[in-house]
Amino acid sequence: MTTQESVARPQTRPIFPGQLPRLPGGLAGSWLGLAPFFAFALLFLFLPILYLVTGAFQNAEGAFTLQNFAELTTPNIMAAYSLSIRLSLVSALLGTIAGVLLGYAVILGGLPRWVRPIFMTFSGVASNFAGIPLAFAFIATLGRIGLVTVILRDVFGFNLYGAGFNLFSFWGVALTYLYFQLPLMLLIVAPALDGLKAEWREAAEILGASRRQYWLMVALPVLMPSILGCFLLLFANAFGTLATVYALTGSRFAVVPIVLFQQIQGNVLYNPNLGYALAVGMVVIMAVSNTIYLVLRTRAERWQK
């Protein structure tokens, strides 16, 4: 190769890991890439919350009032909040316990490797399966003339509803919620279970700890912030559910989202500003729950590093 050819040919520099080309415009280009996220959060999170808060402090004529928040203490609305909190706590607790046990079996239980991808894929689909399709599936399966109900009655001679079960009751709705709470728990607790280091178990065994002592004194204390955080996330997930319980029970099951829906869209109980106050109360409860979850997750990540 001549000297002229070497001068004419453009010189290229190899790109090594950590030396990827930057977006045009440098730092400005990076911020530009976040613009869709900020626009989405502004339009569908911050502005709606501001609208709710503003409407909650107004009456039908638009004047300032605290009457909407005073009405939140009425027996009917307090009963709705109590029912929503109890239902969310029960479904979150059942989902947390079952999810941790399932996660242990799938991730640490020594099952074949092909089992985990199947469960994780199914969990990703089932955790988003809710609303009218989920309610219809449970009615067709465990309703009064559902498939499982009929099989138990005609084949095994067991009357499920005669034994006290009712899909349209508190425990029936909690069981329906469990369908998407359990796979969601598996998805979010899996990284915490993966974060348990083999060295901790080996060190405990060297010091003479039994398997039970290792889990009670080492593994569970490490996992507890993650488990509690996941529980709070499941609680918030169940507390804001509307379509599933409404499609399953109609307006007979007066949880807070249904009462809110009645105040905003109802023909009889129509008071949009009271509905805004109900929504603000839900936002506060969910914000506290998610904030505690973030704090616990930050603490859990210290052990996983």
Confidence category of residue 109, pLDDT binned at 50, 70, 90 = confident
Q: Let me know if residue 13 belongs to a domain.
A: no
Predicted local confidence at residue 106, as pLDDT: 93
> Is 169 inside a domain boundary?
yes
H runs (alpha helix) in the chain: 3-8, 27-33, 35-41, 47-56, 67-70, 75-103, 115-126, 132-142, 147-154, 170-194, 198-206, 211-214, 220-239, 243-249, 256-265, 272-304
- d(C-alpha 110, C-alpha 100), whole Å: 15
Per cent of the chain over pLDDT 70 is 88
State residue 74's pLDDT score. 92
Instruction: Tell which residue, 215, 213, 241, has the closest CA to residue 95.
Output: 241
- CATH number, domain containing residue 193: 1.10.3720.10
Determine, yes or no, domain membership for 34.
no
Q: How far apart are CA 75 and CA 269, in angstroms?
A: 15
pLDDT for residue 302 is more than 80: no
Q: How many residues does the chain have?
A: 305
According to the model, what pLDDT value does residue 265 have? Answer: 78
Residue 247 tokens, joined: 């499609």
pLDDT exceeds cutoff 50 at 16: no
What's the pLDDT at 56? 92
Tens of pLDDT along 115-161?
Answer: 999 999 999 999 988 888 999 999 999 999 999 999 999 999 999 99
The answer to whether position 3 is within a domain reads: no
C-alpha 210/C-alpha 224 separation (Å) is 20
For residues 56 and 69, is the Cβ–Cβ distance under 8 A? Answer: yes
- CA angle 12–16–19, rounded 5-degree value: 90
Q: What is the pLDDT of residue 100?
A: 95
Highest mean pLDDT among 92-96, 189-193, 237-241, 242-246: 92-96
Q: What is the pLDDT of residue 303?
A: 62
Q: Per the structure, how many domains does the chain have?
A: 1
In a domain? residue 41: no
**270 assigned to some structural domain:** yes
Per-residue model confidence as pLDDT tens digits over 28-86: 667 888 888 899 999 998 999 999 999 999 998 889 999 999 999 999 999 999 999 99
pLDDT tens per residue across span 258-296: 888 888 876 567 789 999 999 999 999 988 988 898 888
Tell me, what's the pLDDT at 25? 53
Q: pLDDT tier at 13 (50, 70, 90 boundaries)?
A: low
Q: Which residue has the higher pLDDT, 46 or 14?
A: 46
* C-beta separation of 64 from 76 below 8 A: no
Report pLDDT for 252: 80
Please tell me the predicted confidence (pLDDT) of residue 300: 73
Residue 148 falls inside a structural domain: yes
Interatomic CA distance for residues 187 and 176, integer angstroms = 18
**Would 2 be classed as within a structural domain?**
no
Q: Note down the domain range covering 202.
A: 57-304
Using CA atoms, how far apart are residues 225 and 288, in angstroms rounded to an integer?
A: 16
